[in-house]
Amino acid sequence: KGGVGKTTSTAALGAALAQRNEKVVVVDFDVGLRNLDLVMGAERRVVYDLINVIQGDAKLTQALIRDKRLETLFLLPASQTRDKDNLTAEGVERVINDLKRYFDWIICDSPAGIERGATLAMRHADVAVVVTNPEVSSVRDSDRIIGLLDAKTAKAERGERMEKHLLLTRYDANRAERGDMLKVDDVLEILSIPLL
């Protein structure tokens, strides 16, 4: 679901891992609506993007942007001008495999919904962090994503279990007590994955 904090959470997780001297790349899969570069303060430094790399217009090393504050944190931005149909399964697999050679962690920022960018972002995941807020529509969308993680990823196709964690954003205990939003226990019962 849009607006739950996926992009902010991606940047924060990437920064936290980089602060532990892990080599991290965050990849923006929100083609056409690029925002991860903004959150990371790198919007003026984007020259090449994920689509340029997939289509062979740029090398991976040309598209990667090193964070100014954390030297082990890198960004691979999405294209702002191309359509998500430019993402190909083969191209994404090639880029992910190339990134695995250089990085300890590859964190993919998935776009909202279950369209092509989202399914390709989750396709090669080893671990999934499902970001949701305690509203019925958000939790319902997250439940659908969990189903896709269990059925449509490379791990699922190999018969392996996908490790999943829940990141609950915008929680307000007072509002939950008043019944204005779901309580943590309700969200956990519906989604049945462990809370981060």
Residue 186 lies in a domain: yes
96: nearest Cα among 81, 107, 112: 107
Q: Are residues 79 and 20 in the same domain?
A: yes
As a residue count, the chain comes to: 196
Instruction: Among 112, 147, 165, identify where a domain stops.
Output: 112
Tell me, yes or no, whether 77 and 11 share the same domain.
yes
Is 89 part of a structural domain of the chain?
yes
pLDDT in tens, 170-185: 999 999 999 999 999 9
For residue 4, what are the domain limits? 1-112
Q: Please state the pTM of the whole predicted model.
A: 0.94
**pLDDT tens by residue, 61-97:** 999 999 999 999 999 999 988 777 789 999 999 999 9
Q: What is the chain's Cα-based Rg?
A: 17
Torsion of CA 174, 10, 123, 135, to 10 degrees: 20
Whether residues 99 and 148 fall in one domain:
no
Domain boundary, last residue among 77, 112, 147: 112
Cβ neighbors of 183 (< 8 A, separation 6 or more) are: 134, 176, 177
Instruction: Pick the closest to residue 76 from 32, 108, 112 (CA basis).
Output: 108
Same domain, 42 and 74: yes
